[in-house]
Amino acid sequence: MAPAPRQLPRRAVLGAALAASGCAAVPAIVSAASINARMRGDISPVHDPCIIRQGDTAYLFSTTGSAREAAEGLIPIRTSRDLIHWQRAGHVLAELPEWARQAVPDAAGAWAPDIAHFNGRFHLYYSVSTFGSNHSVIGLVSSPTLNPSDPAYAWRDDGQVIASTRQDDFNAIDSNVVRDLNGDWWISWGSFWTGLKIARMDPGTGKPSDDRVHAIARRPEHPGAVEAPFIITHHGWHYLFASFDLCCRGLESSYTLVVGRSRDVLGPYLDREGRDMMQGGGSPIIAPSPRYPAFGHNAVLQDAGQDYLVFHAYDRDRDSAPVLRVSPIAWSADGWPGASL
């Protein structure tokens, strides 16, 4: 039988139960430099990472963005036992399922995965789209274990989760699953157009339970440049992380990470200055550096009493390639997250 996940991203409410599993924890690490300066192995190119732990191993999944990359497989898997040494461990999919190819015929890969554990299975969400279009779908695969040595390891195609067409005002990519402070499940998504959306999720299917869609963030004065929602709970708050501005242009990217918080998972999410994220608000989390001028599309690993911000940054020393970054989150006295490169 597969060991239970030590602790899962976003689900602090499960902490006590997961701690009882007895699995090994990440060693105590107090600064991003102590991780990132020592990071080794297969850490680039990594775009749009998500992360989860099963047993003593952290599993990281990321975007497959080009036809050349897709020829090797979709959604690369990397593993680590200490968040420092990373190795490649295959791919989730050999190719897109037929329904996804029919839904978005021009798609070259699978983008922006998200991973969550519920109902005894690991659920991996992924996006199928093309640049500059909201003709998109979010798909779902699941497996009872992430350990490829386990005979039960197999990714099952669970089909389409959400779709958008050119007639919609949102883009069905960049999904994220969260269990709120009341124990209810939600799925959020969005990129450009009218911003970030959220809908109630049925944990029995991993898909929206009804047709109601709620808006949680937008940027009306910045051509819609907000994407990649990621929600966690912490000390009685829901924190909405998002990425502003432009990715995927190497050192010319303007990508950056922001956050707001709300008592209610549906918002309003206000930043540190009290600005509503529905009106373009969002507090910066990380300051850029000469080596890493742009960064974004984060996940959060909540593990053994420490939260980690996991994201990609464009690295001047690697010819602008996107590289994996892992930073312990430092929570301020008034409850705001900070991190570093």
Q: Which of 192, 190, 123, 183 is nearest to 162 (CA)?
A: 190
171 and 132 Cβ atoms separated by less than 8 Å: no
Phi, psi of 331 (to 5 degrees): -90, 130
Q: Which of 149, 156, 152 is nearest to 89 (CA)?
A: 149
Environment class of 260 (CB within 10 Å of its CB; exposed 0-12, middle 13-18, buried 19+): buried
The active-site residue, picked from 69, 174, 180, 227, is: 227
Buried b (16+ CB within 10 A) or exposed e, 237-252: bbbbbbbbbbbeeeee
Going from the C-alpha of 39 to that of each of 32, 60, 81, the distances in angstroms are: 10, 14, 12
Q: Which of 141, 220, 226, 240 is nearest to 190 (CA)?
A: 226
- The residues, ordered by sequence, that sit 6+ positions from 196 with a Cβ below 8 Å of its Cβ are 188, 189, 190, 215, 216, 217, 218, 226, 227, 229, 240, 242, 277
- The residues, ordered by sequence, that sit 6+ positions from 333 with a Cβ below 8 Å of its Cβ are none
**Annotation says 252 is catalytic:** no
Q: Report strand pairing: 321-328 vs 330-331.
A: unpaired
- The residues, ordered by sequence, that sit 6+ positions from 202 with a Cβ below 8 Å of its Cβ are 185, 208, 209
Token representation of residue 94: 């050999």
**Annotation says 227 is catalytic:** yes
* Strand, coil or helix: 94: coil
Q: Is the dihedral of CA 201, 125, 244, 43 positive or negative?
A: positive
Token representation of residue 208: 């929206």
Q: How far apart, in whole angstroms, are the C-alpha atoms of residue 322 and residue 108?
A: 19
Catalytic residues: 48, 227
